[in-house]
Amino acid sequence: MYEVIYMKADYEPWWQFDGWEEEVIERCEFADLAAATAHFDNLRKQYTQKYPKVAAKDGKFLAFWSHDEKEYCEACEENLQMYHGLFIMNNGNVEKCF
């Protein structure tokens, strides 16, 4: 089973810090990589149009952001940049998809 993961956090998705699963906004399941990749590509197009900044890592992770989307962190007493992350997982492993 393949899952397209969309997460929103104050760090890029490739860091996958402990508890990163709590930042997942949406998981879409697919039987094969081709279907998952097609959905991933549709989301990538949408987020590319919506957010002016994008970064990629290892052909597996994408992060989108705009400099004006920040959230206040009480523990660190500052505004943190928010990132919208996309990637595909298969049986707990991140898949190369672009």
Task: Scan for tokens 């597996």, then name that residue.
Answer: 60
The per-residue pLDDT for 53 is 98
Does an H or E element contain 33, and which? helix 33-50
Instruction: Give the CA diameter of the chain.
Output: 44
Q: pLDDT, tens digit, for every residue of 17-63?
A: 999 999 999 999 999 999 999 999 999 999 999 999 999 999 999 99
Tokens of 19: 């508890």
Is residue 9 classed as helix, strand or coil in its secondary structure?
Answer: strand
Write phi, then psi, for 52 (nearest 5 degrees): -75, -20
